[in-house]
Structure 1
Amino acid sequence: MAKNLTDSAIDRQNILNNPFAVAEIQKSIGMKGVEFKGRLLVLKEQVAAFFEVSPRTIDNYLSNNENELHQNGYEVLRGKALKEFKLALSDGDVHETDFVNIMKTPQLGVFDFRAFLNLAMLITESERARLLRQAMLDIVIDTINSRTGGGTKYVNQRDEDFVVSYFVEENYRKQFTDALRDCVDMGNFKYPMYTDKIYVSIFREKAKEYRKILRLQEKEEVRNTFYSEILDLIASYECGFAALLQQQYSEYGRKLTSFEVDALFLQFEAQAHWKPLIEKFRMKMASRDLAFRDALHERLKEYVTPLQAEEFERFIGEKSAELNKRIEEAKDVMKRLKERE
């Protein structure tokens, strides 16, 4: 999916919140500045020179995007912090004229590397900024792919919670299909039909639509791509609705018709306690799929938000791992769960 970073605050923030990609971009650029309190800082004049624009142009972007740039590392130094920074300047690569002017100023705006990248994703007048944006997108894709073994379709399985959630949902799935078998007077079509009802209720897509968005092949299972939280919510639906079917079956003393099951499901999904869970998990699913899989769920696009750094650590950081490793780690947990059955 083509991304226009100058137009999309979410795409910009997803790059800036990805510490692994930012580190690779910094290595690639080799940006020089002043080391100050563990950060690489550059001056407005240095930034203007890099992008081959005037300092006034930088001022305009600062004025029009003040909150975003401050959030991502732009800072105005005053007082003690400014005095300490001025002392650090003697070791930095600063033009003599700029150095003299800085020594006289009562306050000074500085960009750390994330703020510098943020500005690069905003400036439209600079050819250098355009080229940097292209390089950034390539580096982000390469970084995610390299940390996930070449593909992101199953990035969900790198989460340490995935294996247990998958195993638990599998058990509730069996309860659900057993209830459909024993309590609903329909043919085998009922299994995919009511599975789709759950999917549509949670993330507004039938299995076929979801498969198309994630570009799944015929033999690839949808459930294998779900994040652990989505599996947990599906399991809750399956468990709860299976119990309702069994209750109604006992009360009627016969199998339910499709009309009765549809009406029962409408009542079930309308229960108020589902709303906050569904809202939360739609946001997670839509935001993660856009950031990691470059997959946009059109029906969930209003739920897309930038991922925080913790999300990148969770799925592509040192704590994430391949599925076979997760299975080994989870064997004891799964054994205990099975013993409770």
Structure 2
Amino acid sequence: MSTSSKKDLTTSAVDRQNVLNNPYALVEIERVTGIQGIPFEGKTVVLKEQIAAFFEVTIRTVENYLEQHTAEITRNGYEVLKGERLKTLKAAIQDLDVPETDFGNISKTPQLGVFDFRAFLNLAMLVSESERAKMLRQVILDVVIDTINKRTGGATKYINQRDEDFLQAAFSEESYRKQFTDALRDGVDMGPFKYAVYTDKIYVSIFKEKSKEYRKLLRLEKKDKVRATFYAEVLDLVAAYECGFADVLNQAVTSKGRKLRPSEVDKVFAAFEQQAHWRPLVEKARMKMASRDLAFRDALHLQLKEYVAPVQREDYERFIGERSKELSERLEEAKDVMKRLKDRG
């Protein structure tokens, strides 16, 4: 489900925060917009008078949005200056070759609110009355998509593989997968279809979707492997389910002294997935999948909608930043490490 064309930044706090937490998109948005502000403490800040002029709204309109969204805008860079810092700002304004009236009557004010670029963008994503703000919101959405596509070579389908933890998670899951399929082979009185059935049971238990539904949402082709698109945390949890259920199933088979019928296996699985220790792990995996897929893949898992949260700056570093790499590079590095270890031995 593609959502970029339907995103309304004025109403979605999650979408706004995803923009503001993405350092790579912010750099590009600042370059594209070319906002002129006041140099202050190594960055550029603007006052509400400048924002009102830029968006062609009244100062009272800016103040209203600030009052309604104080916590959000403050979290994203708005602050009130006093004392020495305010003196420094006033000096910076005097150094600018513009009329001081552009900044309101600030000569005697004991405190002054300033917006850095993030806070300015935050406000731009809220002001619904301004045509300029509306145009800027479209620029923001376009830049965010372009930035992610450029940094991943357009391959957001496999953006999960750029994570440094993916390779280890994939290798580990493969061995646990064999334990799972062996247990199904030896313990379940059912045809080959059983592998798909109980794999889907794990998927539904963890992220509420069968393999077919997940494929459709991510627009996977027939040759694409579902697990190749999972984030490391999801792969780890799938591996834990496979390993744990294989053990529980083997115990049930030993207890009965025969293969189990599908209805019996279903009961074993139902009891297995209800174990309390799964709950926090499942909640975390759902949040990671729902939030990252919306931010990086523009895919909304409707069954996980309640788990969507803003993607943190660390995740942008992890998947499109300097720490991220193509899987082929990581495999080459792993091959080199193995070769060195072999030569040393």
Q: Which band: TM-score by shorter chain?
A: over 0.9
Match for 1:240 among 235, 239, 244? 244
Aligned partners of 1:102, 1:39: CA distance in 2, in Å?
A: 20
Match for 1:123 among 101, 122, 127? 127
Contact kept, 8 Å, 1:163 with 1:330, in 2: the verdict is no
| Residue 61 (structure 1) aligned with residue 65 (structure 2) | yes
Aligned partners of 2:201, 2:59: CA distance in 1, in Å?
A: 57
Partner of 2:144: 140
Matched position secondary structure for 2:80: strand
- Structure 1's unaligned 5+ residue stretches are 336-341
Amino acid at match of 1:265: F
Query: Structure 1 pair 150/94, CA: closer, same or farther in 2 (3 Å)?
Result: same
1:1-12 superposed matches below 5 A: 1=3, 2-12=6-16
Partner of 1:161: 165
| Residue 266 (structure 1) aligned with residue 270 (structure 2) | yes
Amino acid at match of 2:292: R
Aligned partners of 1:14, 1:114: CA distance in 2, in Å?
A: 12
Match for 2:285 among 269, 281, 284? 281
| Residue 112 (structure 1) aligned with residue 151 (structure 2) | no
TM-score (norm 1): 0.95
TM-score (norm 2): 0.94
Contact kept, 8 Å, 2:173 with 2:235, in 1: the verdict is yes
Contact kept, 8 Å, 1:167 with 1:334, in 2: the verdict is no
Matched position secondary structure for 2:150: helix
Paired residues, what number?
336
Match for 1:35 among 30, 33, 39? 39
Match for 1:20 among 14, 17, 24? 24
Partner of 1:339: none
Match for 2:86 among 55, 74, 82? 82
Aligned partners of 2:75, 2:323: CA distance in 1, in Å?
A: 26
Contact kept, 8 Å, 1:287 with 1:307, in 2: the verdict is yes
1:198-277 superposed matches below 5 A: 198-277=202-281
TM-aligned CA deviation for residue 46 of structure 1: 0.8
Aligned partners of 2:309, 2:333: CA distance in 1, in Å?
A: 32
Root-mean-square deviation over aligned CA pairs: 1.6
Partner of 1:338: none
Partner of 1:184: 188
Contact kept, 8 Å, 1:164 with 1:334, in 2: the verdict is no
Aligned partners of 1:46, 1:95: CA distance in 2, in Å?
A: 12
Match for 1:173 among 164, 172, 177? 177
Contact kept, 8 Å, 2:245 with 2:272, in 1: the verdict is yes
Aligned partners of 2:134, 2:113: CA distance in 1, in Å?
A: 24
Aligned partners of 2:233, 2:104: CA distance in 1, in Å?
A: 56
Amino acid at match of 1:14: N
Matched position secondary structure for 2:107: helix
Aligned partners of 1:97, 1:218: CA distance in 2, in Å?
A: 64
TM-aligned CA deviation for residue 332 of structure 1: 7.0
TM-aligned CA deviation for residue 80 of structure 1: 2.1
Query: Structure 1 pair 76/277, CA: closer, same or farther in 2 (3 Å)?
Result: same
Aligned partners of 2:337, 2:212: CA distance in 1, in Å?
A: 33
Aligned partners of 2:56, 2:97: CA distance in 1, in Å?
A: 17
Matched position secondary structure for 1:41: strand
User: Which contiguous aligned blocks of 4+ residues in structure 1 show a shift greater than 4 angstroms?
Assistant: 332-335
Contact kept, 8 Å, 1:34 with 1:93, in 2: the verdict is no
Aligned partners of 1:13, 1:72: CA distance in 2, in Å?
A: 9
Contact kept, 8 Å, 2:81 with 2:114, in 1: the verdict is yes
TM-aligned CA deviation for residue 78 of structure 1: 1.1
- Structure 2's unaligned 5+ residue stretches are 340-345
Partner of 1:293: 297
Aligned partners of 1:123, 1:63: CA distance in 2, in Å?
A: 13
Alpha-carbon displacement from aligned partner over 1:205-253 (angstroms, at most 9, x marks no partner): 0001111111111221101100000000000000011111111222222
Aligned partners of 1:100, 1:127: CA distance in 2, in Å?
A: 23
Query: Structure 1 pair 333/192, CA: closer, same or farther in 2 (3 Å)?
Result: farther
Q: Which moved more, 1:314-323 or 1:89-98?
A: 89-98
TM-aligned CA deviation for residue 94 of structure 1: 4.6
Amino acid at match of 1:143: T
